[in-house]
Amino acid sequence: MSTARLAAAGLRWQALIACALLGLFGAAIGTYLTILKFRMTYTPCLGPNGGCQVGEMRCEDALGAAWSIVGGLPISAWGSAAYLCIAVLAIGQLVRRGFLGGCAAPLQWALSLVMALVSLAYAAYAFLILQSPCPFCLSLYVVALLLVLCTAAVRRAADPREQFGLRVALRHRRASLIDAAFRLGMLLTIATGLQSLAYHGMRHTVSVRDGCPEQAEPLPVAPIRVGPADAPVILAAYLDMSCSACKRKFKQLASALRNNQFPKPVQLRVYHAPRHACDPAAFPAGFARSDDRARDDNACLAACAAECMEKLRPGAGYRLIGGLFALHDDRQAGQPLFTAERVGNRAVDLGMEIDPDDRDNPLFRCIDDDRGVLATITAHQRHAEVLNLAVPAIAVYAALNGEIDFERPPYWIFANTPFDDLGMYIELQAAPPAQAK
């Protein structure tokens, strides 16, 4: 054998080993993402918070997006099956000459190209639409790119007497190609089917309350309330107005309340959970939920403004929260999200007769000096800290005579829990105890 042929054989061997390892690595990452998706869907309190985060990149937005489910299965499950097929094709070529009638190489090339194109589409969606790339998804995109390069090396170094390209297979080896494609399709079907059985079967072994905080004592007072006092269900919403996910969840809540979209009457109670200590003296050991971005955006100023607005004009606090969340859409570069001027202007928009430029107006005096308002917010923060809540969070409580029925534990909604689940939980909590599950 010539030196050139030996070098080509060595290159092909190395490229096949790389393809096999990349395929197994991609299948492992896809399986992990499927597990995270399962936890997010069926055990929201055990969701991926903190388990899928690198720096400021998180998986929740990508896993909660509409595109994350295809054919009733997470896209990661389909990806795992495809990467496993790539690994099998590569290993088969390593251990057996003429594997799949010599059609393994063209099938591997075609499958790797399809996976690369799908990865490109999802990468564009994550960066351009969601604007929130998932760190583990990014790893899969890199794996898909490397697979294309390594598979190209396999094709280039292949011995034409043993293997051939896709064009040759389509013209002269159709029977072999169809047989090989059928076998590969069966492997893909089996790998996907097993994941489907596990994914949908395991849902019956868990509860949506698994890992959720238990409410052992009455909640702090929540002055901002919307909805009938005798509603059979109470929603306790824990919000930080500097949080964009809180904005999206509040917008969904407000729209459903305004349009009577919930299956049963509900009362919404707002609990402030700014991610920095509004009263540092109340947290001498430090605030566990502290976040520099929330502090820089003056999240506590927004919370105080909402509570003061409610105190000065009962019923207006809830509307001011909506107005303050709207400031996310008009963010000024290099400036805090909430400033006295911006908050004051929003209050004026809601009919508050104040001069935003006058620091001695009633709203600003309340924000600066009212210790009762600060104590209310601090109580909310302490409560959220005890429960170890990540905002946004919504507890769905059964109500009895206008107050929370602590005999029945709540259901929980988090940032990327499907909003339709909220309606289901409301139905369950509104049902008599004997019927609730």
pLDDT of the residue at 50: 44
Among 301, 319, 302, smallest CA distance to 224 is for 319
Directed axis angle between helix 104-124 and helix 135-157, to 10°? Answer: 150
Residues 94, 142, single domain; the answer is yes
**Within a 10 A sphere around the Cβ of 347, how many other Cβ atoms?**
28
Domain boundary among 148, 174, 205: 205
Query: Same domain, yes or no, for 201 and 271?
Result: no
Q: Does any domain span residue 216? A: no
What is the C-alpha separation between 223 and 83, in angstroms, rounded?
54
Is residue 218 included in any domain, yes or no?
no
Please state, in angstroms and rounded to a whole number, the distance separating the CA atoms of residues 273 and 267: 19
- One domain for residues 91 and 155: yes
Q: What residue spans of 96-211 are helical by DSSP H?
A: 104-124, 135-157, 166-172, 174-201
Distance CA 74, CA 284 (A): 45
Q: Which residues of the chain have pLDDT under 50?
A: 1, 50-51, 437
- Domain match, 94 and 17 both: yes
The alpha helices in 328-419, defined as continuous H runs, are 340-349, 362-369, 371-387
Residue 241 domain flag: yes
Residue 30: inside a domain, yes or no?
yes
Please indicate, yes or no, whether residues 137 and 265 belong to a single structural domain of this protein. no
- Looking at the structure, tell me whether residues 192 and 273 fall in a common domain: no
**Contact call for residues 55 and 190 (beta carbons, < 8 A):** no
Q: Hey, how many other C-beta atoms are within 10 angstroms of the C-beta on 47?
A: 27
Q: What does the pLDDT read at residue 1? A: 47
Whether 29 and 145 map to the same domain: the answer is: yes
237 & 356 share domain: yes
217 occurs within a structural domain: no
Q: Give the range of the structural domain holding residue 385, as residue numbers without chain letter.
A: 225-430
For 163, which DSSP code?
-
CATH number of the domain that 165 lies in? 1.20.1440.130
Q: Are 253 and 415 in contact (CB under 8 A)?
A: no
Whether 170 and 274 share a structural domain: no
CATH code at position 368: 3.40.30.10
**Same structural domain for residues 200 and 277?**
no
Q: Which of residues 177, 205, 233 is at a domain's end? A: 205
User: Does residue 355 share a domain with residue 323?
Assistant: yes
Domain assignment of residue 219, yes or no: no
Let me know whether 170 and 258 are in one domain: no
211: in domain: no
- Give the pair of three-digit tokens for residue 402: 């206008």
Q: Return the structure tokens found at 92.
A: 């088969």
pTM of the model: 0.74
Q: How many structural domains comprise the chain?
A: 2
- Give the separation between CA 411 and CA 141, rounded to whole angstroms: 36
Is 341 part of any domain?
yes
